[in-house]
Structure 1
Amino acid sequence: MIGEVSVGPVPGPANRNGGVSLLYRLSPRHPAVLAGAIAAAAVFLLALAGVLAGWTWMVDADWAVLDPLYRYGAAHPGWVTGWDVLCTVFHPAVFRLLALIWIGYALIRREYRVALFLGLTVEFSALIVVFTKEVVSRPRPATALVSELSSSFPSGHALGASAAVTAVLVVAWPALRHQWRTTAVIAGVLIAAAVGIGRVVLNVHHPSDVLAGWALGYLWVVACLPVLTSSRFTAVDETPAATGTGS
């Protein structure tokens, strides 16, 4: 298949489920992965261009969503508190802490590519957020229902959730039994979606900020896939969990 790379067999549950996960065997050039990356890049660039150029239609679309949510939230403080709690529970810092624990576990198991992949996709994504926010410097909506200090574009919560969920699914996929894979994908999508929606509900982000965050998070994970699929990143003493000869 075009896009397959040699990463070898994964011991344990992955072998019981028919070998290495497809996600482990695909490079960013595979049609499905590439199509997703192109779509994500288009969404991000469109949102970025709209912000920088001040496109009226995008501003109007953002406010058409924000205004009714602000009115409802201002009249229902419990609604605001609930969404604020959800966004705090799934704050990017929480994902980074969990990823750091996983990185430590991967290093103990000599799964160096997994550790590097999680470090880049989850931990380093924080720097991408800071850099992009500083460069674009878009003000947050004036109707914010909770306090936030940084600039608005892109949504760090949306980017962090998108990157973390995608990266975790990629790494965990071989260990998941077939009957749990669909559940894991649905759970991951729901988490990322809820976080992004919550930021809009709270009026701390324009919808275009969230769309850009989701897109850039996914795009960054795809850009980091060669860390898992290329033998250039394999240490000589790495365990079979990440090395071997492929079909």
Structure 2
Amino acid sequence: MLQTDAAVAAWAAATGPQLVWWTPLWWVLSMVLGPWAWRLLAAAWGLWWLLRERGRPSWVGVPWLVVAVLAGGLVPLAVKAVVQRPRPLAALVPVTQTSYPSGHAFAITVAAVVAVLALGAHLHRRGRILFGLLAAVLVVLVCLARVLLVVDNVSDVLAGCALGLVWLGLLRGLSLCWAPGPRAAVGSGTRRR
């Protein structure tokens, strides 16, 4: 994988400066679909949900999907602090932090899955398929943008996507543990004679 990382980074670093549109296009795409955009959307959706509860908000009732996006931002930061993998040397734009795993890949993966789960349930089968494909395309575009800007390696974005799926699986498992079980209706039992 390290050879692939190095080869793709070298190709992008050589190709990008030759094309005037390369860096601005991938940078704008990376920022517009980056982690902060999804966090702001998740916060707005969570606020809307809480306001809809008409003064009866509780953290138990806040959708785990919002928590997945908002709290998820800390997950790649924690892994980056442990791994400390430096960014590729030929980055076409200035970046901070380390590169493994890609926070952008993590954020777009979590946001895409959350969107498909939250909104896909309200669509017909064909709409769910199209929405799922759109979400997948957005994930690929953001990952591609990070690699073509030479700020993340291919392995960084793959790890970011995988970590996002693990994070969602963990949260889903926890939400199932805390979900109330079915309640028997009062007086619904049958009498024995």
The interval holding the TM-score normalised by the smaller chain is: 0.7 to 0.9
Q: 2:29 aligns with which of 82, 86, 94?
A: 86
Q: Which residue of 1 aligns with 2:13?
A: 70
Q: 1:165 aligns with which of 106, 112, 137?
A: 112
Structure-2-length-normalised TM-score: 0.85
Q: How far did residue 118 of structure 1 move?
A: 2.3
> Structure 2: which 5+ runs fail to align?
184-193
Distance 1:115 1:104 in 2: 10
1 or 2 for the larger relative contact order (CA 8 Å, sep ≥6)? 1
Distance 1:202 1:82 in 2: 10
- RMSD (Å), alpha carbons: 2.0
Write the deviation string for residues 163-212 of structure 1: whole angstroms up to 9, x where unpaired. Answer: 11112211222212222101110010010110011100000011100000
Q: Which residue of 2 aligns with 1:60?
A: 3
Q: How far did residue 97 of structure 1 move?
A: 0.5
Q: 1:217 aligns with which of 155, 161, 164?
A: 164
Q: How far did residue 64 of structure 1 move?
A: 1.2
Distance 1:78 1:244 in 2: 57
Distance 1:228 1:138 in 2: 32
Structure-2 change in CA distance of 1:114 and 1:66 (3 Å): farther
2:45–2:66 CA contact under 8 A, matched in 1? no
Write the deviation string for residues 2-45 of structure 1: whole angstroms up to 9, x where unpaired. Answer: xxxxxxxxxxxxxxxxxxxxxxxxxxxxxxxxxxxxxxxxxxxx
Q: Which residue of 1 aligns with 2:46?
A: 103
Q: 1:205 aligns with which of 152, 163, 181?
A: 152
TM alignment of 1:1-247, pairs within 5 A: 58-110=1-53, 115-226=62-173, 228-230=175-177, 232-233=178-179
Structure-2 change in CA distance of 1:212 and 1:114 (3 Å): farther
1:103–1:118 CA contact under 8 A, matched in 2? no
Distance 1:139 1:228 in 2: 35
2:99–2:151 CA contact under 8 A, matched in 1? yes
Write the deviation string for residues 84-139 of structure 1: whole angstroms up to 9, x where unpaired. Answer: 01001001000000011111222234496673412331011111121111111110
Alignment length (residue pairs): 179
Structure-1-length-normalised TM-score: 0.67
Same amino acid, percent of matched pairs:
31
